[in-house]
């Protein structure tokens, strides 16, 4: 990838079939912005519009380069935009070998000799394609085709990398190995990466920022943690990125600290935000990975919210290093995601008294 072209400013609207697209957001160089939403919400159309394959109206610019500006009559065709695009259905060239497909992209990139961060051999090895270079695309499996397609998009050394569910055909463990690398690659090369997905787990692993999309409308890209906390709880609880919803009573407002103090079964919690009247009930959301578990009361620690409870269940998550620990607090249930290694070292099992450390808590409807 050829490094920073600057911030991608998207201001596009238009109708494609039944769907009305309304997109206004920015995506920064070196960051991965996930466009996250259900099927049929316009994610693919939005990527196509950014690439120039589909024409909507409005304005689109990458740093100083204007790609589209209807008021000035500017529309740069797709082949003059510094993009890489991995389609959901890989569109490989059937008349070329895997290597031929990759070289096709590399030869036409701005740096045919290869930037160090995305060398041909580096990409090929990381995506496990070294053994397949001489094969024809038609003989490849679906997952292999997707990896070739992704490699080809990377070797175009784009300023804007457009990924449309690029790993949907891969096994979760294979995906988990690729996503952090992809993110690091984008960061190192200063690429604007737009990553379309409907899989929250994938989004959490890859995104610096998340731009939720619903019925064709994208209005902002927020930092990942913040955006996740704004998602409806159903999203969080239904996917492998588990979380818990707790109910607590507002005890006091601490405006000087921008915090509210809450009571949960006699224990005290402090949560950002002061909007709730004292005495009302509030729903809190806690992501499982934001909960740590200790067997003794921790001292001298920055985490302010520590709840005492009893382990009700320890469940290993297959094919991951993690386990989920359910902790009963009063009559409520809090889920922590910790490593299996830690769970066994601490001797966690049902009935054990523990302290749950909550790194981040937020109001459910904040």
CB of 100 to another protein, least distance (A): 10
CB of 148 to another protein, least distance (A): 11
The secondary structure of the chain in percent helix, strand, coil, rounded to multiples of 5, reads: 30, 35, 35
Smaller CB distance to another protein: residue 52 or 212? 52
Question: How many residues interact with another protein (rule CB under 8 A)?
Answer: 26
Which is nearest to 343 in space by CA: 318, 366, 314? 314
Residues near 98 by beta carbon (within 8 Å), at least 6 away in sequence: 129, 132, 133, 134, 135, 136, 137, 140, 148
Given candidates 9, 11, 30, 53, which one binds another protein under the rule CB under 8 A?
53
| Euclidean distance between CA atoms 29 and 255, whole angstroms | 36
CB of 74 to another protein, least distance (A): 18
Please choose, out of 32-40, 71-79, 309-317, 348-356, the segment that lies near another protein by the rule CB under 8 A: 71-79
| Euclidean distance between CA atoms 176 and 244, whole angstroms | 23
Given candidates 32, 33, 41, 51, which one binds another protein under the rule CB under 8 A?
51
| Euclidean distance between CA atoms 357 and 228, whole angstroms | 20
| Euclidean distance between CA atoms 203 and 261, whole angstroms | 32
| Euclidean distance between CA atoms 187 and 179, whole angstroms | 12
Q: Does 77 bind another protein (CB under 8 A)?
A: yes
| Euclidean distance between CA atoms 337 and 315, whole angstroms | 10
CB of 79 to another protein, least distance (A): 5
Q: Does 111 bind another protein (CB under 8 A)?
A: no
Q: Does 5 bind another protein (CB under 8 A)?
A: no
Give the CA count within 13 Å in the CB-facing half-sphere of 203: 30
CB of 145 to another protein, least distance (A): 12
Given candidates 12, 23, 34, 92, which one binds another protein under the rule CB under 8 A?
92
Smaller CB distance to another protein: residue 36 or 87? 87
Smaller CB distance to another protein: residue 65 or 313? 65
60 beta partners: 10, 68
Q: Does 117 bind another protein (CB under 8 A)?
A: no
Q: Does 104 bind another protein (CB under 8 A)?
A: yes
Which is nearest to 295 in space by CA: 246, 344, 242? 344
| Euclidean distance between CA atoms 3 and 27, whole angstroms | 14
Q: Does 89 bind another protein (CB under 8 A)?
A: yes
Q: How far is CA 225 from the centre of its chain?
A: 10
Q: Does 141 bind another protein (CB under 8 A)?
A: no
CB of 34 to another protein, least distance (A): 20
Given candidates 127, 153, 163, 204, which one binds another protein under the rule CB under 8 A?
153
CB of 53 to another protein, least distance (A): 5
Q: Does 95 bind another protein (CB under 8 A)?
A: yes
Given candidates 62, 118, 151, 156, which one binds another protein under the rule CB under 8 A?
156
The two tokens of residue 219 are 């209005």
Would you mind telling me the total number of residues written for the chain in this entry? 366
For 288-344, strand residue ranges (E) read 291-294, 305-316, 322-329, 332-339
Q: Checking phi first, is residue 165 left (phi over 0); if not, alpha (psi -120 to 50) or beta?
A: left
CB of 216 to another protein, least distance (A): 21
**Contacts (CB under 8 A) with another protein, residues 157-176:** 162
3-state secondary structure of 2: coil
Q: Does 91 bind another protein (CB under 8 A)?
A: yes
Q: Does 80 bind another protein (CB under 8 A)?
A: yes
Binding footprint of another protein on the chain (CB under 8 A) = 51-53, 77-80, 82-85, 87, 89, 91-95, 104-105, 108-109, 152-153, 156, 162
């Amino acid at each position: 990838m050829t490094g920073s072209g600057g911030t991608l400013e998207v201001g596009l609207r238009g109708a494609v079939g039944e769907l009305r697209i309304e997109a206004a957001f920015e995506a920064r160089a070196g960051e991965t912005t996930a466009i996250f939403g259900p099927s049929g919400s316009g994610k693919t159309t939005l990527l196509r519009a950014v690439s120039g394959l589909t024409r909507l109206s409005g304005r689109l610019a990458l740093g100083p380069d204007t790609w589209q500006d209807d008021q000035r009559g500017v529309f740069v065709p797709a082949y003059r935009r510094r993009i890489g695009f991995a389609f959901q259905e890989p569109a490989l060239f059937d008349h070329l070998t895997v290597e031929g497909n990759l070289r096709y992209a590399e030869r036409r990139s701005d740096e045919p000799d290869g930037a160090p961060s995305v060398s041909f051999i580096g990409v090929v090895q990381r995506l496990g394609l070294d053994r397949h270079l001489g094969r024809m695309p038609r003989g490849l499996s679906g997952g292999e085709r997707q990896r070739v397609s992704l490699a080809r998009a990377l070797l175009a050394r784009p300023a804007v990398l457009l990924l449309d569910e690029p790993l949907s055909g891969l096994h979760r463990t294979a995906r988990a190995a690729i996503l952090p690398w992809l993110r690091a690659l984008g960061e190192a090369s200063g690429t604007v990466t737009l990553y379309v997905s409907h899989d929250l787990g994938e989004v959490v692993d890859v995104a610096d920022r998340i731009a939720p999309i619903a019925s064709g409308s994208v209005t902002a890209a927020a930092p990942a943690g913040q955006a996740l906390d704004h998602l409806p709880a159903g999203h969080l609880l239904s996917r492998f990125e588990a979380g818990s919803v707790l109910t607590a009573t507002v005890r006091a407002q601490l405006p000087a600290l921008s915090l509210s103090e809450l009571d949960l079964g006699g224990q005290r919690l402090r949560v950002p935000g002061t909007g709730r009247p004292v005495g009302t009930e509030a729903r809190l959301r806690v992501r499982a990975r934001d909960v740590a578990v200790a067997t003794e009361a921790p001292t001298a620690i920055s985490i302010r919210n520590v709840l005492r409870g009893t382990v009700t269940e320890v469940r290993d998550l297959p094919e991951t290093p993690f386990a989920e620990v359910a902790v009963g607090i009063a009559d409520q249930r809090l889920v922590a995601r910790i490593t299996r290694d830690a769970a066994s070292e601490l001797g966690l099992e049902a009935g054990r008294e523990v302290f749950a450390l909550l790194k981040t808590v937020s109001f459910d409807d904040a």
